[in-house]
Structure 1
């Protein structure tokens, strides 16, 4: 059953990641990967909230592992950072690495704190 919940969450998260990435990136005429940054920060916020509730194993599998796992794309973050560095855009690469890690951790912390506050 857990595997099915993870698959269902991933089936929703992956297309949403793609659509969000494309929509955000289309609004920015820059080599900086704004779309990837957006999905990673939003997914980190949501995962922090799921952990902060705390959610049961079924919700954690569906939303945490499945949905957030497919929505976020840290492998693409790594690839895009290396791509920027190799293309000579070292400032963008460094900014991407720093902003992604700091914003992702900050969003997860915020999601956790909000969930704890709202659930008492």
Structure 2
């Protein structure tokens, strides 16, 4: 039964990512991948918050598995962030690529840490 909940949560997370990505791109049309950055930062924060809450409140591992691996795994996207970094390099924008690739990873780590502290 866990597998079914995991798959359902992953599907919902993927749809949430798709919807937010489209909304951000419509609101702020640019060639810089702000939408993916926003999605990955908010997802990292949410996973940190969830992990902190599970540890602090002794919730079962199912909460972290379904919401973290399922929903947030479907919501966030490392592969798209990697592709967008390479795309910036391909478009001869090395500074933007480094800022996005390394800076984005750093901001995601800080967001996850903040989430754990608040959880």
Q: Same fold (TM over 0.5)?
A: yes
Aligned residues: 115
Structure 2 CA distance, aligned partners of 1:94 and 1:28?
A: 21
1:49-81 Cα offsets, whole Å, 9 max, x none, are 111111422211210000010000010000000
Q: Which residues of structure 2 form unaligned runs of 5+?
A: none
**Which shifted more, 51-60 or 101-110?**
51-60
Structure 1 CA distance, aligned partners of 2:25 and 2:99?
A: 16
Q: Is 1:79 the counterpart of 2:83 in the alignment?
A: yes
Structure 1 CA distance, aligned partners of 2:2 and 2:93?
A: 42
Q: Which residues of structure 1 form unaligned runs of 5+?
A: 116-120
- TM-score in terms of structure 2 length: 0.91
Structure 2 CA distance, aligned partners of 1:56 and 1:48?
A: 16
What's the counterpart of residue 18 of structure 2? 18
Q: CA RMSD in A?
A: 1.1
Residue 22 of structure 1 and its aligned partner are, at CA, apart by: 1.4
Segments of 4+ moved more than 4 angstroms: none
Q: How does 1:1-120 map to 2 (within 5 A)?
A: 1-54=1-54, 55-115=59-119
Residue 86 of structure 1 and its aligned partner are, at CA, apart by: 0.7
Structure 2 CA distance, aligned partners of 1:30 and 1:89?
A: 14
- TM-score in terms of structure 1 length: 0.90
